């Protein structure tokens, strides 16, 4: 019996901070910085043994800077917690260096489009270590995936089954691809509506309650499908702090999964991270422990491979963005606008989801932040806000490098060219070395597409 939709109250939506939140005026909490962050004698920020402002001097602003050691530790933690089928969800942040890093640290890579597949392949990740996702995979994308010999395809719709089986029929050269069936368990994670995916009313996957999931399994198990069904997949949403949602999902999935006697159960991604003062999130290890207990409670046999696809939890806190403050506009009695040289084109999350961020000055990380300003970008609309009520040091001035921490997930990957603003470069720092892993986009790059 599959229960009706479960609605769970998981607390606040994606993080929103304002100047009245307790502790906001204190110096930036160190735990929002990448793990190798330290201060030099003058209070300047160093990450991976590299002076952050020296990176800015070399490559300019805006720039995404990632702590490579932090990225590696999180991948290792995920691999340790879930084993070799754990996948890094590359939609959170992808370039060749990141794909190679996740692969080196033993993670598979979840790619949800032909583009992500192409980047992972260009990084040298073997097809077997890739998992293909997507709610509207084209024939071309599936052909590329089959040609690469992807390790898993997560099947999302009946139309996709038709397209896939047309490719895996008698003319398909390789072995039948291993597939998982994506199920919507009818569990509503309380997060922002745009990133909720487990509810019945979803564009993703096959509903459990409606019987669609069972019908999909039947179709995929028919010999004519030319595929090998190995497991069940569910992803209930993103930026979820309260682990009860995952427990509920497993409680609902358990009976369905157990009857099928399959080998793999993947619970997707979704683990939340702290973005602002006062927020805390479970670690990947804690998440895995809770999932294991919940799977055991749902009588999922021990030999089943319980896997997951963390994206944000791997990369978010490893990255920060440095901007340069270009104008400081004081409107007495109203607010102070600090305009920086990026904005919604490199971080659309505040505009899309109302997400909160902190701001600080890498030149003096431990400075108190008594002043409240609104950090805005350079795009031609009033909604182009990066931090609505940013607490900053009193002496913030034009020309200062202003940084927002925890921008490693869904910032670079969702960046655009709005207003023909070139996308920022990405720099990895480690052991006193910096390497530009994605160079800054140029006007020529943009013009190259313009026939």
Of 184 and 239, CB closest to ligand LLP: 239
CB of 220 closer than 8 Å to CB of 178: no
With contact defined as beta carbons under 8 Å apart, do 312 and 287 qualify? no
d(CA 134, CA 129): 17
CB 10 → ligand LLP: shortest distance, Å?
Answer: 14
| 137 scored as a contact of ligand LLP (CB under 6 A) | no
Shortest CB 266 distance to ligand LLP, Å: 8
Q: Is 311 in the site for ligand LLP (CB under 6 A)?
A: yes
In whole angstroms, how close is the CB of 59 to ligand LLP at the nearest point?
24
3-class DSSP assignment, residue 132? strand
Of the listed pieces 95-103, 172-180, 303-311, 422-430, which binds ligand LLP according to CB under 6 A?
303-311
Residues 31-70 as x/- pattern, contact with ligand LLP by CB under 6 A: ----------------------------------------
What phi, psi does 323 have (nearest 5°)? -120, 170
Q: Which residues contact 149 (CB under 8 A, 6 or more apart)?
A: 126, 127, 128, 174
21-29, 41-49, 117-125, 267-275 -> range binding ligand LLP (CB under 6 A) = 267-275
Of 234-253, which residues contact ligand LLP (CB under 6 A)?
235, 238-239
Please identify, using beta-carbon distances, which residue of 384 and 400 lies nearer to ligand LLP.
384
Cis peptide before 138 (omega within 30 of 0): no
Q: Identify the burial level of 420 via C-beta atoms within 10 angstroms of its C-beta, where 0-12 means exposed, 13-18 middle and 19 or more buried.
A: exposed
Q: Which is nearer to ligand LLP, 47 or 271 (CB)?
A: 271
User: Distance between CA atoms of 272 and 230, rounded to whole angstroms?
Assistant: 28
Asked if 110 touches ligand LLP (CB under 6 A), the answer is yes
Q: Is the dihedral of CA 12, 271, 321, 346 positive or negative?
A: negative
Nearest approach, Cβ of residue 83 and ligand LLP (Å)? 17
Instruction: Pick the binder of ligand LLP from 268, 342, 408, 424 (CB under 6 A).
Output: 268
What is d(CA 44, CA 355) in angstroms, rounded to the nearest whole number? 27
Residue 313 interacts with ligand LLP (CB under 6 A): yes or no: yes
Is 391 considered catalytic here?
Answer: no
């Amino acid at each position: 019996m599959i229960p009706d939709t479960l609605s769970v109250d998981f607390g606040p939506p994606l993080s929103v901070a304002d100047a009245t939140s307790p502790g906001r005026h204190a110096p930036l909490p160190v735990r929002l910085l990448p793990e190798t962050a330290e201060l030099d004698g003058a209070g300047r920020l160093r990450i991976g043994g590299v002076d952050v402002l020296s990176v800015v001097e070399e490559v300019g602003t805006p720039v995404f800077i990632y702590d490579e050691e932090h990225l590696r530790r999180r991948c290792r933690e995920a691999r340790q917690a879930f084993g070799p089928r754990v996948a890094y969800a590359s939609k959170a942040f992808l370039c060749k260096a990141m794909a190679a890093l996740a692969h080196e640290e033993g993670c598979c890579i979840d790619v949800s489009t032909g583009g992500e597949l192409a980047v992972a392949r260009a990084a040298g990740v073997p097809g077997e270590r890739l998992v293909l996702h997507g709610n509207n995979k084209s024939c071309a994308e599936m052909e590329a995936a089959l040609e690469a010999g992807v390790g898993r395809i997560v099947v999302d719709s009946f139309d996709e089954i038709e397209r896939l089986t047309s490719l895996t029929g008698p003319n398909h050269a390789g072995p039948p691809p291993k597939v998982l069936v994506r199920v919507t368990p009818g569990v509503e994670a309380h997060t922002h509506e745009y990133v909720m995916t487990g509810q019945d009313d979803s564009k993703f996957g096959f509903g459990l309650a409606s019987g669609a999931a069972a019908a999909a399994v039947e179709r995929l198990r028919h010999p004519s499908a030319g595929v090998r069904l190995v497991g069940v997949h569910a992803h209930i949403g993103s930026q979820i702090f309260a682990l009860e949602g995952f427990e509920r999902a497993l409680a609902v999935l358990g009976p369905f999964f157990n009857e099928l006697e399959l080998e793999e159960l993947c619970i997707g991604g979704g683990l939340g991270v702290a973005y602002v003062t006062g927020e805390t999130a479970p670690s990947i290890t804690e998440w895995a422990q809770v999932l294991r207990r919940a799977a055991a409670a749902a009588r999922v046999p021990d030999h089943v491979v319980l896997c997951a696809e963390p994206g944000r939890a791997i990369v978010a806190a490893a990255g920060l963005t440095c901007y340069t403050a270009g104008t400081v506009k004081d409107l007495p009695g109203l607010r102070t606008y600090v305009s920086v040289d990026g904005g919604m084109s490199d971080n659309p999350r505040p505009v899309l989801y109302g997400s909160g961020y902190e701001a600080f000055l890498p030149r003096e990380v431990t400075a108190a932040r008594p002043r409240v300003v609104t950090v805005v970008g350079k795009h031609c609309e009033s909604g182009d806000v990066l931090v609505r009520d940013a607490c900053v040091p009193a002496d913030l001035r034009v020309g200062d490098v202003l940084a927002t921490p925890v921008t490693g997930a869904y910032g670079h990957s969702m960046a655009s060219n709005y207003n023909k603003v070139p996308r920022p470069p990405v720099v990895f720092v480690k052991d006193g070395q910096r390497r530009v892993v994605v160079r800054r986009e140029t006007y020529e790059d943009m013009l190259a597409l313009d026939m």
